Chains A and B, each alone.
Chain A
Amino acid sequence: MTQGLRPAGCVLLIALGACAPAGQSLDKITPRDVVVLQTHVQTYLDFACGSLDCHGADGRPLRLYSELGRRADASLRPVPVSNHSDPVALTQAELDANCAAFAALALGSTQPDQQLALLKPLAASAGGINHVGGVHWQSKSDPGYLCLRGWLVGDITQDVGAMCAAATAALQR
């Protein structure tokens, strides 16, 4: 039983270790910087990925926490969210877990651009692969792709914040 848990534990540790420490500025980001996630990327993930019927669902690959989706604990959802109330912000543990989920999905990728999180939402015509949740990005110039790629790869040739804001705005009312 203990031996059976070791591989899973190792994967988790690698995934957690792959998350960058907090406190880095935008002009020098490392892949999966947790501050960049919190500041720019998470809002896009809330709308595009982390709803309760997608990656917020229990047991779904790349399970994500989001303010309006899955929470780590029921106490983080004290009241129903309405037009007059806001959800409780994600905790550091939830952000770290999201970071680890993406890191785990990158394991085995030979190239940073080949990680599943970048391939699955991308249209097949642009080099993507099948995604049960459908095509989110028609090309690699989609703001959503650039938002996520910038964070996952640490590529700041594009303004990650601006890309995430544009991608989020397209999904909001």
Chain B
Amino acid sequence: MDTVIGSLRRVVCASLLCACLGACIGVSPEQRLAKDLGPDTGGHQTGPLHRAGFPCTDCHGPLWWQDHPTFELAGTVYQSPTDDAGQRGAHVIIQDANGQTVTAVTNSVGNFFVVTSGGNFRGSSEGSLVVPAGFKFPLRVSVKTGSVEQKMRSLIWRETSCANCHAKKLGAGSNGRVFAMESTP
């Protein structure tokens, strides 16, 4: 009888262990986030050109991105509100609450991203801007291409991904894409 009960206990314990392990093997928060984002329509798997128009710091923020500097601010600039092509060479002018003003220049798909390094300012044609220290919020931002400058009227108080408030589709919670030029009627 004791042998039967012992065997039964072992089976129950093994089943519980399997159930617990099974609960750990599934979709991670990172995987769920990536799934919610959907596929990258730009065809770039990684690097500065990938996922244009997506909320960059959903992945490149302090929550998930632990191997490299996280993005202080990042996004995508488009030529116009209705254009799917990113604006290369747009100047994203950022002024923080300390009065520090920096300018990032967008890459060929319109992406820009700001990271801190503790060193000197460094910009690149790949869309990156390295700044010595992080921003103090709120931020004032404008986008300039050629002689055209669009000033963001409201302040950025905490968001670090443009696309979280500037999604492609206009809506109750989205002001539409960040753009540098007006649409022509």
Contacts and interface: CB of A to CB of B under 8 A. Distances in A.
A52 B151 contact: no
A52 B159 contact: yes
B170 interface: yes
Interface in A75-117: 76-84
Given A53-B164, A54-B158, A80 B153 contact: no
A53 B159 contact: yes
Contacts of A71: 172-173
A146 interface: no
B156 interface: yes
Interface string B102-129: 0000000000000000000000000000
Interface stretch (B5-13, B27-35, B174-182): B174-182
Given A79-B81, A80-B81, A83-B150, A51 B155 contact: yes
A131 to B, nearest CB: 11
Interface string B132-143: 000001101000
B179 A58 contact: no
B175 A68 contact: yes
A76 B171 CA distance: 8
Nearest to B165: A52
Given A79-B81, A80-B81, A84-B182, A51 B173 contact: no
A77 B174 CA distance: 9
A163 B158 CA distance: 25
Nearest to B153: A68
Contacts of A57: 173
23 contacts: A47-B154, A51-B155, A52-B159, A53-B156, A53-B165, A54-B158, A56-B173, A57-B173, A70-B173, A74-B170, A77-B172, A77-B174, A79-B170, A79-B176, A80-B81, A80-B175, A81-B175, A82-B150, A82-B179, A84-B182, A133-B158, A134-B157, A171-B155
A54 B179 CA distance: 22
A81 B171 CA distance: 12
A80 B176 contact: yes
Interface in A20-75: 46-47, 51-54, 56-58, 68-74
A58 B175 contact: no
Interface of B is mostly: loop
Contacts of A74: 170-172
A46 B154 contact: yes
A22 B37 CA distance: 44
Given A51-B154, A73-B172, A80-B179, 20 more contacts: A47-B154, A51-B165, A52-B165, A53-B164, A53-B165, A58-B173, A68-B175, A69-B154, A71-B172, A74-B170, A74-B171, A77-B171, A77-B175, A79-B170, A80-B81, A80-B176, A83-B149, A84-B182, A133-B157, A171-B138
A51 B170 CA distance: 15
A171 B159 CA distance: 17
A173 interface: yes
A87 to B, nearest CB: 8
A173 B140 contact: yes
B182 A82 contact: yes
